[in-house]
Amino acid sequence: MAEIKKVILAYSGGLDTSIIIPWLKENYNNCEVVAVAADVGQGAELSGLEEKAIKTGASKLYIEDLTKEFVEDYIFPTVKAGAVYENKYLLGTSFARPLIGKRLVEIAKKENADAIVHGCTGKGNDQVRFELAIKAFAPNMKIIAPWRTWELKSRDDEIDYAEAHNVPIALTRETNYSKDKNIWHLSHEGLDLEDPANEPDYEKILELGVSPEQAPDKPTYITLSFEKGVPVALNGEKMDGVTLVKKLNEIGGANGVGLADIVENRLVGMKSRGVYETPGGSILYHAHEVLETICLDKETQHYKQQIALKFADIVYNGQWFTPLREALSAFVDSTQETVTGDVKLKLYKGNIINAGVTSPYTLYSEEFASFGEDDVYDQNDSAGFINLFGLPIKVKALLDEQRNK
């Protein structure tokens, strides 16, 4: 292992990634460890992180603010696709990983590093997502995943290791759920949640908002404006994507919307159970979908449902930097040309309720839809339509009759 002289470490300052630093130096001949903390809107305390990283043995710390890129280039394209994994999961963790992986490669190249290190477990999806991104931009880069190989098997092992190696451990606000947080969502796994028979104790778990029960008795109305499928304004006020998502998180969280309790199929072959908070995201998906119901024609709308299923798999699996994801995005972008308009929603104790939608490109026409007369639709046409639409059924029945005579 002599060839590893310098590594890039995806670093959060938590216990897991902190003890990796001395472990790397121990196992890779005292190699240089460059730590990289990616800010994807998780709202963690970043001040003091550099000091901590260096105290733990890193040679330096990059703090990378990726939030804007995350929202505009990863989240919004996925919202436009309407991609939801297994009908419930809004992919919060999934699409953050490729972005971070890509930045790790950029820094690794700049630093001329020999390997990239991540602290993901060997049982999860994130290792795949990180490594696929790394392979896409640095196919020959060595990847080190200590959790798959070292002897530490529990949190206690980690704490022992940390103490033995003088790693400062922050035990403030101890919670034992395994979490992942960014500007889009917060996930909770582990402990009592590991048994799907258990009802989640939302009062205890939730951080981004409240439960429906605790939400206010009065509804909140909001209006979201989209241009070509991208949200651009809230309540008539134009704002950038990051601001908009943050505001929606506040409003949604306060009204108890965006909770999901899911048993999902991990890419690596097993099922896992998680509770997700995606307050702003849930509102955005909902609003976008409502707008599409008036802006997309039926054939496009229906086929896009299929595309969305594939898009979700692709994002979940970490295959963001692939020709197929790009081709799917090309499809989606083409459909969004006319997805422009305003969606009014009523948020009330966990509910997102439609309160009116308008678009300059609406394909809904009150005139044609109503049951009265109009100039476009001749009701006699439907007789012909039915006769031809039903012709295969009729022919089959006729031939069956003839055969059975």
> Of 236, 323, 404, 405, which lies in the binding site for its own copies, with binding defined by CB under 8 A?
323
Sort 239 into a burial class: Cβ within 10 Å, 0-12 / 13-18 / 19+.
Answer: middle
- Residues 208 to 237 in contact with its own copies, rule: CB under 8 A: 212-213, 219
Residues shown for the chain: 405
Any idea which residue has 């990863």 for tokens?
A: 74
User: Was 377 annotated as part of a binding site?
Assistant: no
Indicate whether 107 belongs to the interface with its own copies (CB under 8 A). Answer: no
Question: How far is residue 111's CA from residue 105's CA, in Å, rounded to a whole number?
Answer: 10
Q: How many residues bind its own copies (CB under 8 A)?
A: 136
- CB of residue 47 to its own copies, shortest distance in Å: 30
Residue 12, marked binder: yes
Residues in region 126-145 near its own copies by CB under 8 A: 127-128, 131-132, 135-140, 145
Query: Between residues 236 and 269, which has the closer beta carbon with respect to its own copies?
Result: 269
Q: Which is nearer to its own copies, 3 or 86 (CB)?
A: 86
Q: At 255, give phi and psi (nearest 5°).
A: -100, 10
Active site residues: 16, 97, 126, 178
CB-nearer residue toward its own copies: 173 or 403: 403
Can you tell me whether residue 93 is helix, strand or coil? coil
Q: What token pair was written down for 317?
A: 């699996």
Q: What distance in Å separates the CA atoms of residue 393 and residue 387, rounded to the nearest whole number?
A: 10
Write the CA distances from 95 to 69, 110, 378, integer angstroms: 11, 24, 48
> Are 352 and 285 contacting, i.e. CB atoms less than 8 angstroms apart?
no
Using the rule CB under 8 A, give the single segment among 32-40, 45-53, 57-65, 121-129 that binds its own copies. Answer: 121-129
Q: Is 177 in the site for its own copies (CB under 8 A)?
A: no
Among 22, 124, 258, 279, binds its own copies (CB under 8 A): 124
Q: Which stretch binds its own copies (CB under 8 A): 2-10, 29-37, 147-155, 230-238?
A: 147-155
Closest CA to 34 of 103, 122, 93: 103
Touching its own copies, residues 257-286 (CB under 8 A): 259, 261-273
Q: Taking CB under 8 A as the rule, does residue 397 contact its own copies?
A: yes
Say if strands 186-189 and 220-227 run parallel, antiparallel, or are unpaired.
unpaired
Q: Residues at the annotated binding site for ATP? A: 10-18, 38, 119
